[in-house]
Structure 1
Amino acid sequence: MTFDQLTLFIILTITIAMFVWGNWRHDMVALGALLACVVTGLVPPQEAFDGFGHPAVVTVACVLVLSRGLQSTGAMDVMAQRLIPKNGTTTGVIVALTAVGALMSGFMNNVGAMALLMPVAADVADKHKLPPGKVLMPLSFGTILGGMTTLIGTPPNLIVSGFRDSAGAGSYGMFDFTPVGLAVALVGIAFVSLVGWRLVPSRTQAGAATFDTGTYLTEALVDEKSSADGKTLWEISQMLEEDDAQVVGVVHNDTRVLPATPAQRVRSGDILIMEAEPEALTTAVSKLGLRLAADPEEEKEEKEKKEKQEEKKTEERARTADQRSAEAGAIGIDENEDKGDGDKEKKKDKEKDKEKEKEKEKEHARREDIQLRELVVMPDSPLTGRTSRMLRLPARYEINLLALSRQGRRSVRRLRSTPLRAGDALLMMGSDDSLNTFAAEQGCVPLATRDISIPNKEKAVVALVAMALAVAGAAFGLLPAAISFSACVLAFMALKVMPLRNVYESIDGAVIVLLGALITVAEVMEKTGAADLVALAMLDNVAQGNPVVALVILLVVTMTLSDFMNNAATAAVMCSIAISAAAQLQVNPDSFLMAVAIGASCAFLTPVGHQNNTLILGPGGFRFSDYWQMGLPMEILVILVSVPMLLWVWPL
């Protein structure tokens, strides 16, 4: 082993450990690995960022934009509504929902497909009296499986295609992944729809009207008129016993008291930290006469700010009237003219009164429109890592964060100072328009009804035609995939399929940095011979020169890594090893590269292996250990189906 190889192995070991640890974002870890390679001399500084110009990176960015366009126009909504039956057996509806999710994932980002269909899954679960997790997990697995069927369905396929091109064999076509990917997807969908959903742990009672997001932690203010004022926490607990709610902490003078002792007496102005199921939350708060408020101090500040603005306007109007009177007296305006001016002032005052009445009516209408809605934070949401206080929700959106559900964890911080995470369920209060705007801008998905995007038939048709042309151009080899989909993005912009401001917002910068950095690091594995060394060790010590055994080992190792680290990162690391192993065995490298593509996409054992699994963690009420019960047989099934298909379609 050379010094460069040893250095690279140390960097890769630390990188994989950081991925599994999960406290740093994947793009930060990848960028750190790249810079470490530069500092140690493994990568020349002038070549450090060559990976960002790789066709796979460009194609991924384009697919993210196109997915957002298809989503915002409502093109996929129409398809989902027509293909998913409203009535039928539970198994039949889950089959249809999972199949539609897989179909959509073949041609758009699978996270986008999952986000679109989550509200549909909620309705299915409610209608069939099922815990939502039993519908959500099959849908998540189905969208993951569907991404394996085409070149653009998932980033690992694009990365594998890019490595094949770098090896001098040319890139894969649009549907080169379809024979193996489709076989795995069909068997997988059949399994999760017929058998798998029954293995999913039940985290809610049948007939739940909403997602089992677990218990919510919320803050409720004790008013002077509240029945909780003056009572001990033991007395309050007796009042809440029937509602299955409890007080877990008290904030007095902005200081949280932990633990909440039974003898502690509650006073007006205190804030109770309450834990309750979503259905029991409002009942418990109403019974105690409390007021839900995410941040009473911030609301007070906003109210005082508005009152000061109104006082300032009143003073300016009074000052203007005094100036006019003084000017009139100075130039000697007669009484008749003064009366005329007085009449004008009266008219103006009446008009102002009418305007005030209209404003009051509008304010009343807004209050009538106030509602509670549950939203889930998506993995790529800008809310991640930010707190309610930092967001200033009342000022920016006229909404409040009332409660937070984070399955399996109880925060010891104030609600307003708790950093949000992907998969968190948020109970928001505000008007319909304000909540829609917040959800659209901040990357949240509503858990009950999907009402964020309004379908536009004309733009939907344009989007579908442009997308079909781009797919055809790449499929028939008329243009490279990166060029074909770049042209489609340009068409979306020129034809205003989506607002131009949303084009670059659609591109997940973290994914781009991850891919651009790791592609360069993976190339170092090939240049230093590190990939050859790993492949040789695997072939000699485990496979013992048998190419079929080597193929199975490569698939299993890739699947295992993908369960704990980003699938794109897994593909980038394993591609070099796959090419080297095939070269040493003198067999077809396509079968090994396809094994990497399949393995990198099949992350079914944990909620961190794929964004879709993270997305359902909160809404499904899942724990970290809930995924393997359906995920383990799913991964075994993938191996049993994919290996024979790989040997048949891509013979050694």
Structure 2
Amino acid sequence: MNSQQCIILGILIATVAMFIWGKWRHDMIALAALLGCVVTGLVPADGAFAGFGHPAVVTVACVLVMSRALQMTGAVDLMTRRLLPSKGGALAAIGILCGLAAFLSAFMNNVGALAMLMPVGLQMAKRHDLPPGKILMPLSFASILGGMTTLIGTPPNLIVSGFRAQTKMGSFTMFDFAAVGIPVALAGLALVVFGRKLVPIRQISGVEGFATGSYMTEGRVEEGSKMVGKTLREVDQQLEDFDAQVVGMVRNRFRVVAPNRSRVLMPGDILVIESDPESLASALSGLGLQLVEAKDAPDESANPSDSESETEDPNTEATAEKPPTDTSEMALMELAVRPDAEIIGRSATDIRLRSRYGINFLALSRQGSRSIRRLRSLKIHAGDVMLMQGPQESVIAFAAEFGCVPLAPRSIRLPDKRSAWLAIAFMAAAVCGAAFGLLPASISFATGVLLCMAFRVVSLRSVYEAIDWPVIVLLGALIPVAGAMETTGAAERVASGLLNWVAQGNAVVGLAVVLIVTMTLSDFMNNAATAAVMCPIALSTAAQLGARPDSFLMAVAIGASCAFLTPIGHQNNTLILGPGGFRFGDYWKLGLPLEIVVVAVALPMLLWVWPL
């Protein structure tokens, strides 16, 4: 192994390790890998950013814009209302909902499809007296399965098609993935619908509200409250009736972590309480506490000592605040934070939630961790569920701007029928143009985006807001890195190792190894990154075995789309983490059987449709 091969493999191993670690965003890691290749001379400086002009990158951006058009015009709402049954059993309802999710994901961004159908799924869970997770996990997995059936269904398919084009065999067409993808998706759908009993129960059936885990909220001890003079131990004893507990307090602008249970409460004290959503109101009223709203106030110090100074009296109102709203117009709504949401890493103070939007941040649900930081200064994470209070229009507008999904029952908006039909027509035309070879996929969908803009189906500003820029940077940066793997011969060396140690020259075993390795990587790192890493290895493996590369590239496409074991493998799995009340280890119970089914169906289908 020469020095260049050692360097590129070292960069690749470090990149994969950083992806799995998850400390940095995927686009940052990919850009660091690209710059590492440039500095070491593996990628020429004048070609470092050539990947951003790759047809796959352009197509991904255009598909995201057209997906936004389908969402914002109400086209998906029209389909949902007409196709989903208002009556019938839970099994039929889940089956139809999952089938609709799979179908939509074949032609639009699967995260967008899930976001549109999640409120429907939650209402369906309430109607059939089911824990929300029993519907949300099958719904998430179904939307992932549907994406593997078409060229535009998921970014890995576009990346695989791009690598095929580099072999001088041309790109895959729109429905080349369907011959294998549809049988795999149907088998997977059957399992997630009939095997929903494998989904862990994280909420007792029959309760009101959603399974969002435990909320962290704040209650103030008012003057004359019956809590004045009581100890925290006595408060905890009363909270046991509501399945709640005190996890922190604020006194005189000082925050106390794990306060002593013998501490006596005084007027103005603020208690940080952990409670289930359905017990939240009862716990506060039972103690006679006043709910504290998260205001636009300066953040307190980040000093991790047992007590910390705040910069503002908790009783002080924020300045430049929106005028009060009639309480009859106020609504409570739960918002799930999407993995790509703008609010991630920011707090209510950072975005001036009350002064800009007139919304109160009342409570937070976060799985897997506990924080006693003040709500107004708490940094939001992906998968969090926030309880917001304000005019419904304001909350919905805030959710749309910052990438959150409303979970509470919402009035179904009246779609713009003209724009909805135009969005459907433009998407269908773009699909047909690419499917029948009239235009390259990138040109066909770019034309569709231009038509959407020209006919005002999607606003000019939202065109750029619809594009998932971290994914675009990820793809544009990793394409040259993957090219360096091929030009240095590193991919061929890795393929030789797999063949000698595992496959031992057997093409069928080699195909299975590529499929399983790709699937395993996609459970812990971004699926687009997985495809970009595995495609050069798959091509080299096929070349050394004397097999057709198509079957190996298709194995990468299938494997990269099947991330079912963890909440971090796919954005959809992260999105349902909070609303479903799930834990990290809940996914494999349904996900592992599903991945076994995928391998069992995909391998013979690959050998039949794309013979070696």
- TM-score, normalisation: structure 1: 0.89
8 A contact 2:119–2:409 mirrored in 1: yes
% identical equivalent positions? 60
Match of 1:585 among 524, 540, 545: 545
Matched, 1:270 2:230: no
User: Structure 1 residue 257: deviation in Å?
Assistant: 1.5
User: Structure 1 residue 288: deviation in Å?
Assistant: 2.3
User: Structure 1 residue 507: deviation in Å?
Assistant: 0.5
1:83-140 deviation digits (Å, cap 9, x = unpaired): 1212212211111111000000000000000000001110111111111101000000
CA distance in 2, matches of 1:43, 1:71: 40
Q: Which amino acid aligns with 1:385?
A: G
Matched, 1:615 2:582: no
CA distance in 1, matches of 2:149, 2:99: 13
Number of paired residues? 596
User: Structure 1 residue 235: deviation in Å?
Assistant: 2.0
Q: Name the counterpart of 2:301.
A: none
Q: CA separation of 1:520/1:270 partners in 2, compared to 1, >3 Å: closer, same or farther? A: same
CA distance in 2, matches of 1:155, 1:542: 29
Q: Name the counterpart of 2:246.
A: 247
User: Structure 1 residue 424: deviation in Å?
Assistant: 0.3
Q: Which amino acid aligns with 1:130?
A: L
Spell out the pairing of 1:67-216 with structure 2 (5 A cutoff): 67-195=67-195, 197-216=196-215
Question: Which deviates more from structure 2 when the two are superposed, residues 282-291 or residues 486-495?
Answer: 282-291
8 A contact 1:222–1:267 mirrored in 2: yes
Matched, 1:421 2:381: yes
CA distance in 1, matches of 2:554, 2:498: 18
User: Structure 1 residue 451: deviation in Å?
Assistant: 4.3
Tell me the SS of whatever aligns to 1:284. Answer: helix
User: Structure 1 residue 477: deviation in Å?
Assistant: 0.1
Spell out the pairing of 1:12-411 with structure 2 (5 A cutoff): 12-195=12-195, 197-295=196-294, 298=297, 305=320, 366-411=326-371
8 A contact 1:122–1:210 mirrored in 2: no
CA distance in 2, matches of 1:46, 1:473: 33
Matched, 1:499 2:498: no
CA distance in 1, matches of 2:236, 2:221: 15
8 A contact 1:130–1:208 mirrored in 2: no
8 A contact 1:399–1:434 mirrored in 2: yes
8 A contact 2:362–2:389 mirrored in 1: yes
Q: CA separation of 1:481/1:297 partners in 2, compared to 1, >3 Å: closer, same or farther? A: closer
Q: Which amino acid aligns with 2:227?
A: A
Q: CA separation of 1:31/1:216 partners in 2, compared to 1, >3 Å: closer, same or farther? A: same
User: Structure 1 residue 367: deviation in Å?
Assistant: 2.3
1:58-93 deviation digits (Å, cap 9, x = unpaired): 000001111111000110111122212122122111
Match of 1:576 among 533, 536, 558: 536
Q: Name the counterpart of 1:483.
A: 443
User: Structure 1 residue 416: deviation in Å?
Assistant: 2.0
Q: Name the counterpart of 2:308.
A: none
User: Structure 1 residue 586: deviation in Å?
Assistant: 1.1
User: Structure 1 residue 185: deviation in Å?
Assistant: 0.3
Match of 1:549 among 502, 505, 509: 509
CA distance in 1, matches of 2:58, 2:273: 48
User: Structure 1 residue 290: deviation in Å?
Assistant: 2.1
Q: Which amino acid aligns with 1:388?
A: A
Tell me the SS of whatever aligns to 2:364. Answer: strand
Q: Name the counterpart of 2:472.
A: 512
Q: Name the counterpart of 2:499.
A: 539
8 A contact 1:384–1:419 mirrored in 2: yes
Matched, 1:457 2:410: no
8 A contact 1:141–1:604 mirrored in 2: yes
Tell me the SS of whatever aligns to 1:403. Answer: strand
Aligned CA RMSD, in angstroms, stands at 1.5
Q: CA separation of 1:148/1:267 partners in 2, compared to 1, >3 Å: closer, same or farther? A: same
Q: CA separation of 1:297/1:224 partners in 2, compared to 1, >3 Å: closer, same or farther? A: farther
Q: Name the counterpart of 2:524.
A: 564
Q: Name the counterpart of 1:340.
A: none
1:9-31 deviation digits (Å, cap 9, x = unpaired): 11111111100000100001101
Unaligned runs of 5+ residues in structure 1 are 308-358
Tell me the SS of whatever aligns to 2:442. Answer: helix
User: Structure 1 residue 254: deviation in Å?
Assistant: 2.3
User: Structure 1 residue 293: deviation in Å?
Assistant: 2.4
CA distance in 2, matches of 1:573, 1:542: 19
User: Structure 1 residue 387: deviation in Å?
Assistant: 1.4
CA distance in 2, matches of 1:591, 1:190: 25
8 A contact 2:321–2:358 mirrored in 1: no
Larger radius of gyration: 1
User: Structure 1 residue 502: deviation in Å?
Assistant: 0.7
Q: CA separation of 1:453/1:66 partners in 2, compared to 1, >3 Å: closer, same or farther? A: farther
CA distance in 2, matches of 1:582, 1:202: 44
1:20-65 deviation digits (Å, cap 9, x = unpaired): 0001000011011001111111111111100000000000000111
CA distance in 2, matches of 1:507, 1:64: 6
Tell me the SS of whatever aligns to 1:613. Answer: helix
8 A contact 2:296–2:353 mirrored in 1: no
Q: CA separation of 1:186/1:305 partners in 2, compared to 1, >3 Å: closer, same or farther? A: closer
CA distance in 1, matches of 2:321, 2:603: 67
User: Structure 1 residue 302: deviation in Å?
Assistant: 5.1
Tell me the SS of whatever aligns to 1:149. Answer: coil
Tell me the SS of whatever aligns to 1:430. Answer: strand
8 A contact 1:406–1:423 mirrored in 2: yes
8 A contact 1:71–1:116 mirrored in 2: yes
Q: CA separation of 1:41/1:75 partners in 2, compared to 1, >3 Å: closer, same or farther? A: same
Q: Which amino acid aligns with 1:92?
A: A
Tell me the SS of whatever aligns to 1:465. Answer: helix
8 A contact 1:228–1:266 mirrored in 2: yes
8 A contact 1:436–1:452 mirrored in 2: no
CA distance in 1, matches of 2:559, 2:204: 35
Q: Name the counterpart of 1:326.
A: none
CA distance in 2, matches of 1:291, 1:397: 22
CA distance in 1, matches of 2:485, 2:204: 51
User: Structure 1 residue 563: deviation in Å?
Assistant: 0.2
Tell me the SS of whatever aligns to 2:148. Answer: helix
Q: CA separation of 1:586/1:428 partners in 2, compared to 1, >3 Å: closer, same or farther? A: same
Q: Name the counterpart of 2:303.
A: none
Q: Which amino acid aligns with 2:70?
A: L
CA distance in 2, matches of 1:211, 1:135: 12
1:376-406 deviation digits (Å, cap 9, x = unpaired): 0011110011112111100110001111111
